[in-house]
A and B are shown apart, each in its own frame.
Chain A
Amino acid sequence: MNQNANRKFKIISFCVSFLFLILLFSIFSKINIKQKAQVITAPLEKVGTDIISGKLEVMVKDDFDDNTKSGINYFIDDGKKKTPFILDNYSDLKLASFSGSTIKSIGYYDQGKFVGNIQSYLVNKQAPTNNVSIPVNHKVLTLLLLSEGTSKEPFVKSDAQKVIWNSPLLNL
């Protein structure tokens, strides 16, 4: 009897554990599905007519081997999240009313007609920029990072100041 009871207990425990795992799997599956659903995939027509507000951010990936593999990603930061969107020569997209900027309206192409260069906005986010009358020092935090397994550092830390920060580019 004891052995049977023990066996029944094990079977019930197994079933409960199994159901619990299914429940957990189900919950995580729903979370994953919910996360996937948050990916923004605006149809082209919608992108074509949207006016988007927020701070424009641009990230450039450079492939010096092949310019076609380089990429430019655009985001709008509305203070809560950074939303990626399409902005290229093929988008009839006009951006307007950036918050936190004196620029009230800026765009790229609107119905195939050039509206304005976003670059001016991006440059003007630097401070100070235009009409620099005295030398302005740009202070940079440099972090040197080495992937484990790399047999040696390309230069020792004490040389970094010389290798990077006395390099020809600073004179360029």
Chain B
Amino acid sequence: MTEQSYGKITFSSDVYGWITIPKQASTTPVLYLSQTQIANYIATNNINLNNYDHVLLVYYCAVDCKGANSTVGKVNNVVNGQNYQLSVSTISGSQGNAGKYDFLSPYYQIKTQTSFQWRNIDAYLAHEFGHALGLMHANAHDCGNFAITAPSGCGYIEFGNVIDTMGFNKGEGLHFNAFFKYLLGWINPSDIVQVNSSGVYNLSPLEIASGTKMLHINQPALSDISYDVEFRQPIGFDKDIALNKDGVIIYRVVNGPSMQYDDAKLIDASPTISPWFSDTNPVSLSQSTQGIFKDDRRGIKIGPITSGPNGSANVAVDISTPPACMQMTPVIGSLFINNSASYTIPVGVPANIFVTAYNDAYPTCVGNATFVGNFMVTGGIFNFTQNKSIAPEAFGNFYTTFTPSTVGTYQLQFKVTNSINNTIANKVVYIIVQ
């Protein structure tokens, strides 16, 4: 972590093992040790857990061991009757699958060979130690063909930041994003510029220690959404980002009570119709195409990008008066029954029905709208109404429980009404009761 923390943190370790996990009575191999077995090993070897911040368990087996897990930050661990604050991370590898999950094989997710050695074990450890430091995944805000549009047209993608070790990364950009670095204390708040008016702002590459690392762009008339902007260059462990993802990277930020509680998700500033993870186009704003990112609902434009001094970038930002309030027709999202999008349920058993409705009203609308949601099953055998107060650009979750008494196929209609402008949306699904 030395490079991306600008030398602020280092890791070191004491290593024990290999510890053989014995087979049980049969020939079936046991893949993992129990917590009690680990505690016993620690006691037997007089390991003082007070000397450590983190625990790393490295598992290796003959076949089919893969993946990893970690606590996020430190948690309480009671070992041999004493409580320790430690993060606990696990990585697993195996000999099988033609070396696919072998620790020392090149990282199998890499679609283009990196210009330096990056093995499975490196990828696993870099990601899990991010969790150990307290980071969640680096995610994305996907609006399909658009860089940004109304909330109902967008979705969130777990792991979606393809140029961040905490995302689903292909070995191109490996640094954590600027917001994560700010959370970890690696970027000083003085290296973040709060942008509240139009102008041209300079950004230094995220990979080097000096200069402005992040723009935090706000529409002063609104407070809910900001845009964070960072500048990524092919330097150090970001060397292979040059393949197609370097440049100015934009994050949609849902503002928390203060910046440290923000939630920043990657935006594809050069969107295509391709699904998120198979889109090989840049996610950045390209200097060469003079691209401009627009959030019309907030009167924010970012771009074009021009070269600044000493390898920096100049970012033009335009902030104008946002458009007046416009109420919209509700939009209904996916409907789930018992957490599933297939609607076959057993007779006589209560089924949980869950559906989300979006209030796509412009962010300049003041006050919440009451959404009236109604669930109705064929023939009036079930009728349930629920009200939700939903803010502009937010969503409401409607849920109920339906217990079918006879076998058959039933039509379930969910109707939601925006009580401000009396617009209605409907969704109909068919339930098979067996």
A binds B: yes
User: In the complex the two chains form, what is the Cα distance from A71 to B73 in whole Å?
Assistant: 16
Give chain B interface residues in 22-77, CB to chain A under 8 Å.
22-23, 27, 29-33, 38, 41, 47, 49, 51-62, 65-76
Interface assignment of A1: CB less than 8 Å from any CB of chain B: no
Q: Which of A4-12, A20-28, A30-38, A137-145 contacts B (4 or more CB under 8 A)?
A: A137-145
Contact of B52 among A117, A141, A151, A152 (CB under 8 A): A141
Interface assignment of B165: CB less than 8 Å from any CB of chain A: yes
Tell whether, in the assembled complex, residue A67 and residue B159 are in contact, meaning their CB atoms are under 8 Å apart.
yes
Tell whether, in the assembled complex, residue B9 and residue A136 are in contact, meaning their CB atoms are under 8 Å apart.
yes
User: In the complex the two chains form, what is the Cα distance from A155 to B58 in whole Å?
Assistant: 11
Contacts of A140 in B (CB 8 A): 11-14, 52-56
Interface assignment of B135: CB less than 8 Å from any CB of chain A: yes
Interface assignment of B131: CB less than 8 Å from any CB of chain A: yes
Total interface residues in chain B, CB < 8 Å = 122
Interface assignment of B396: CB less than 8 Å from any CB of chain A: yes
Tell whether, in the assembled complex, residue B185 and residue A131 are in contact, meaning their CB atoms are under 8 Å apart.
yes
Among residues of A, the one whose C-beta sits closest to the C-beta of B10 is A137
Interface assignment of B262: CB less than 8 Å from any CB of chain A: yes
Q: Distance (Å) between the CB of B355 and the closest chain A CB? A: 10
User: In the complex the two chains form, what is the Cα distance from A109 to B175 in whole Å?
Assistant: 28
Q: Which of B121-129, B198-206, B282-290, B426-434 contacts A (4 or more CB under 8 A)?
A: B121-129
Contacts of A48 in B (CB 8 A): 397, 399
User: In the complex the two chains form, what is the Cα distance from A118 to B388 in whole Å?
Assistant: 24
Interface assignment of B307: CB less than 8 Å from any CB of chain A: no
Query: In the complex, which of the residues A61, A113, A172 has the most CB atoms of chain B within 10 Å of its own CB atom?
Result: A172
Tell whether, in the assembled complex, residue A137 and residue B136 are in contact, meaning their CB atoms are under 8 Å apart.
no
User: In the complex the two chains form, what is the Cα distance from A43 to B351 in whole Å?
Assistant: 11
Q: Distance (Å) between the CB of A28 and the closest chain B CB? A: 22
User: In the complex the two chains form, what is the Cα distance from A80 to B174 in whole Å?
Assistant: 39
Interface assignment of B3: CB less than 8 Å from any CB of chain A: yes
Q: Which of B227-235, B253-261, B295-303, B324-332 contacts A (4 or more CB under 8 A)?
A: B253-261
Contacts of B121 in A (CB 8 A): 163-164, 167
Tell whether, in the assembled complex, residue A89 and residue B14 are in contact, meaning their CB atoms are under 8 Å apart.
no
Q: A141-B55, A154-B60, A167-B125 are in contact. Are A124 and B14 (CB under 8 A)?
A: no
Q: A60-B72, A112-B397, A164-B15 are in contact. Are A141 and B56 (CB under 8 A)?
A: yes
- Could you pull out 29 A-B pairs where Cβ atoms are within 8 angstroms? A60-B71, A60-B136, A61-B67, A62-B67, A62-B70, A64-B108, A64-B123, A70-B137, A90-B356, A111-B394, A112-B394, A118-B136, A119-B183, A120-B256, A122-B134, A123-B184, A135-B7, A136-B8, A139-B51, A142-B17, A144-B19, A145-B17, A149-B27, A154-B60, A164-B15, A164-B125, A165-B15, A167-B119, A168-B117
Given contacts A77-B75, A160-B58, A168-B237, 11 further A-B contacts (CB under 8 A): A55-B75, A57-B72, A64-B109, A123-B134, A138-B10, A145-B59, A147-B61, A148-B22, A149-B62, A160-B17, A167-B119
- Nearest 5 pairs between A and B by C-beta? A144-B17, A123-B134, A116-B261, A147-B61, A130-B185
